[in-house]
Structure 1
Amino acid sequence: MWLLISALLLLQPALNLGSGGRNMWLIKEKVHRSRELRLQKHLLDNWKALPAEGKADWVVPKEGLFPQPLDHFNRRNNGTFKQRYWVNAELWEHQRGPVFLFIGGEGALTPYSVLAGEHVDLARKYRALLVSLEHRYYGASINPDGLSDQNIQFLSSQQGLADLATFHEFIKQQYALTGKHRWICFGGSYPGSLSAWFRMKFPHLVFAAVASSAPVRAQLDFTGYNEVVSRSLSNPVVGGSLKCRTAVAQAFSRLDRILARGNTSGLEADFRSCQKLNGSGDRGEFAGNLADIVMGTVQYNAEEPGSDIANLCRIMTNQSLGSTYRRLTVLNKKYMDVMGLPCVDNSHRNVLEQLRSTEVKPFGVGLRQWYYQTCAEFGYYQTCEDKGCPLSRWLTLRSQVAICVQVFGIDPGNVQGAVNFTNDYYGADHPASSRVIFVNGDIDPWHALSVLKNQSRSEVALIINGTAHCANMNPEEEGDPPSLRQARQKVDDQIGTWLAKEHPYPW
């Protein structure tokens, strides 16, 4: 077991993405690396607590690859790819134990997907078989030519759900499962949406679903993201205040005035840009990168010590640091120090080159893949063009949708149609399903696109006061707020109630 934990230290983290810029990608990667380290510690602490004879019984999760059709909806296409999965049967009661499926998303999965987390804690109680499936076109689940303009068309949520159905049959055969083995799926962020949709579209395969921070409603112009950011900066429960929100808005307002004048040499020096800001593209990247610091802090509030709304607000309301503009430079410097950046890359050309790269990497995030999905299915573009937004007005819908044609040749006018189809296909935030639990934190900007009210007696919505993106999916920690503990207990109780109707527990 110790060798397993040591080996996992070398793995890159999986990542859940929005449509943010370069800084947001870096923030999310650091947050998810931090989550991996916490999972490692949780796993190691549990291992150390075992008696000596128990330590020898730990089993390394089974990693495998199996062939998936490249296109489930065209049987004349005989192409396939190898999809990666993990299985942990250590906790499983073979006769009647359920199957807990952890769904992958916009980055590579690791063995932690079946070793630690809320779903693993629940599997220990309900003696479940733990399985996880990496999303097609992310991590190692992609052919060498998969990211080409010709082949990226096979990346979609619909194909991903069909992958899950095929995987269900594969695991069923591998482990001789019957109707007594109920499947419950788990996912967070985009995989949270997939979890709810898998239950809805394949109710004969999936008994129940937990959808954490799931933006099930696609939206082209996601103005609600920064509306939540604004409210969160003002929320005293997490250390925010109206004074903080006002200071942030004033700083970005001055920033925008300087950008509009076009003389950006002072900005380049004050905020340590790696290059001169040449043209509106670079200026938009610059404004977006600074906004990402605020947006990322809110989205992942308190994931890491000192990286939270309270600390951000202490900086932005500290008059001894000078004007609100100067306070923003301090916030930027702190971010750069934490990330180990000598300067900030604000080149729009560099971003486009990165998104155009078809190099397949079997680890980390899938930037090109996810941006393609935003263009072809979801939108999710986080803008700041309304009066209530406290960030830069350079976060425009036009600039973000333009990337769709610049990188993928998708006409910006077609993106709205794709978003409309997604909502029609899945039901947006009013899905007609059953036995689904939607879990959201009210600090998380993504909760604005999720299900926030019970849709029926068995489509349950839980809102966690003062928590951020996918917070409930982490293992329990001593410092967890009561609201988070209560939400996890409600998920546990609901799953127990549903399973008890099929088979009394304990068996």
Structure 2
Amino acid sequence: MHCQEGVGVPREMITMAPKSLLVRFLMLLFISSVVSAKMRPRLGVQTKFKEHRYYGSSVPFGSWEEAFSNTTTLGYFNSAQALADYAELIVNLKSNLSAETCPVIVIGGSYGGMLASWFRLKYPHIAVGALASSAPILDTDNILPEDYAYVIVSKDFQEESESCYNTIQQSWSIIDSHDNNDLAFLTQMFKLCDPLNTKSELKDYLESIYCDAAQYDYVQPSISLVDIICQGIDGVSNESNILTRIVAGLDAYRGEQLCYDINEYYPPNDRTILGWNWQACTDMITSSGRTHNNTMFQISPYDQNEFIEGCQQIYGATLTPRPHWIATEFGGHDIKLVLQNFGSNIIFSNGLRDPFSGGGVLQNISDSLVAIYTTNGSHCLDILPANEADPIWLTAQRNSEIEIMQGWISEYNSIHNKKNVTDKGM
């Protein structure tokens, strides 16, 4: 369960243009990073920040401790409530700025990309369009095979190096071959900061590393995180044992630290992690597992009953997870047919090296429901700040997105200007 849709803080950014600009509009961003510095001037925007409820400083009930104290106070913590916050915020902001005629575009990445697409569907009278980057909106209600993300991670590694892929695939059974008396040996071999309590802790940590490398591959231009791991693994003599090669890959990826923290991906007291855990147990439920031997990972099927029991152990037996809620609230099944009937002006952007691209929309649905993807792109790469070393394909992806958004703005302004002329003539 370590290739789950993960924890990019859904911090929002409100961008606004002064009324004096020829093209006036507001843009709401549900992302934890800033939009490309080259995108802002081309669209004529300035930026301000606003946070998703229960994350960061936007905590109700006076304190984080009180807000997270029970399921009653946490009951207001969900995606639908967050979208309603954004709707109210935009309306109030436009009123305060005397910018009621200013069009709005919503942009988001990862979970924020899901929010962006849903916002456009739920509040089309408030947002004229949405850019949903790396948004796995189909990863719900058993719409997809539960191992889709792991298949993509495995493909990324296999394309980089067949021997690296095989080494990782073989490593799990070798870890399992050690009994519990060998936990101290494994702790020392992998240079872990804290003693292992179970072998599963080590395997979960390694899974997280491989998923992380695939998800954020090429975030820096010309640097493949998957390749770094594989170079470490393949750089050790074939005569060395499998686990020695795995450790070499870990050293290459992490920079050969004195020790490695197996909790680095899921710090037990991290408030962002704890917030996402609540959402993952309530409305943002995904069925992540592996039922077939078609990945470099061990078979580990998703068990919904076990998942629900785990959530209830944390939040109490009264908690009722809603695995069908997202599909009911926003749609998901037969997405092409559904969106053709009532959706418009959404860009679904993806990079195919990102494990979560498999949960996104990868084909055009209509002229205004457009899928833009890159073969070598990774998670949210298109909405990260531009870099002079960016490859041509990434620049082209961003340019396509900007052109489409400019078209939405022009269309809105054209309709609005015609309305003004008509109103004046009456």
- TM-score exceeds 0.5: yes
| Kept after mapping to 2: 8 A contact 1:99/1:130 | no
Query: Counterparts of 1:212-227 in structure 2 under 5 Å?
Result: 212-219=133-140, 222-227=146-151
- 1:486 is matched with which residue? 396
1:230 aligned onto 2:140: no
Deviation for aligned residue 1:196: 0.4
Secondary structure at the aligned position of 2:389 is classed as coil
The TM-score, its normalising length taken from structure 1, stands at: 0.70
Secondary structure at the aligned position of 1:387 is classed as coil
Deviation for aligned residue 1:96: 4.4
- 1:443 is matched with which residue? 353
The higher-RCO structure (CA 8 Å, 6+ apart) is 2
1:371 aligned onto 2:277: yes
| Kept after mapping to 2: 8 A contact 1:102/1:131 | no
Deviation for aligned residue 1:476: 1.9
Secondary structure at the aligned position of 2:329 is classed as helix
Give me the identity figure in percent. Answer: 23
Deviation for aligned residue 1:217: 2.0
Deviation for aligned residue 1:492: 1.3
Could you tell me how far apart the structure 2 residues matched to 1:333 and 1:129 are?
Answer: 41
CA offsets 1:111-159 (integer angstroms, 9 cap, x no match) = xx6xx423x5333123235444310000010030212223111110000
- Of 419, 428, 431, which aligns to 2:332? 428
- Of 19, 26, 40, which aligns to 1:123? 40
Which range moved further: 371-380 or 198-207? 371-380
Structure 1 residues 168 and 125: alpha-carbon distance in aligned structure 2, compared to 1, 3 A threshold = same
1:328 aligned onto 2:246: yes
Secondary structure at the aligned position of 1:206 is classed as coil
- Of 176, 190, 205, which aligns to 1:289? 205
| Kept after mapping to 1: 8 A contact 2:146/2:287 | yes
Secondary structure at the aligned position of 1:456 is classed as coil
Structure 1 residues 293 and 474: alpha-carbon distance in aligned structure 2, compared to 1, 3 A threshold = same
- 1:299 is matched with which residue? 215
CA offsets 1:6-63 (integer angstroms, 9 cap, x no match) = xxxxxxxxxxx9648xxx87xx79xx9xxxxxxxxxxxxxxxxxxxxxxxxxxxxxxx
Query: Counterparts of 1:17-416 in structure 2 under 5 Å?
Result: 19=4, 93-94=20-21, 96-104=23-31, 116-118=34-36, 121-128=38-45, 130-143=47-60, 144=63, 145-149=66-70, 150-179=72-101, 181-219=102-140, 222-235=146-159, 240-258=160-178, 263-278=182-197, 282-303=198-219, 308-320=225-237, 322-337=240-255, 342-345=259-262, 366-380=272-286, 382-393=288-299, 397=303, 402-409=309-316, 415=321
Which range moved further: 167-176 or 315-324? 315-324
| Kept after mapping to 2: 8 A contact 1:100/1:186 | yes
Cα RMSD (Å): 3.4
Deviation for aligned residue 1:292: 1.1
Long gaps (5+) in structure 1:
1-16, 33-83, 358-363
Deviation for aligned residue 1:88: 5.6
Structure 1 residues 138 and 252: alpha-carbon distance in aligned structure 2, compared to 1, 3 A threshold = same
Which range moved further: 219-228 or 170-179? 219-228
Matched letter for residue 185 of structure 2: G
Matched letter for residue 29 of structure 2: F
Could you tell me how far apart the structure 2 residues matched to 1:394 and 1:333 are?
Answer: 27
Structure 1 residues 264 and 167: alpha-carbon distance in aligned structure 2, compared to 1, 3 A threshold = same
The TM-score, its normalising length taken from structure 2, stands at: 0.82
Deviation for aligned residue 1:228: 0.6
Which range moved further: 137-146 or 305-314? 305-314
Structure 1 residues 396 and 201: alpha-carbon distance in aligned structure 2, compared to 1, 3 A threshold = closer
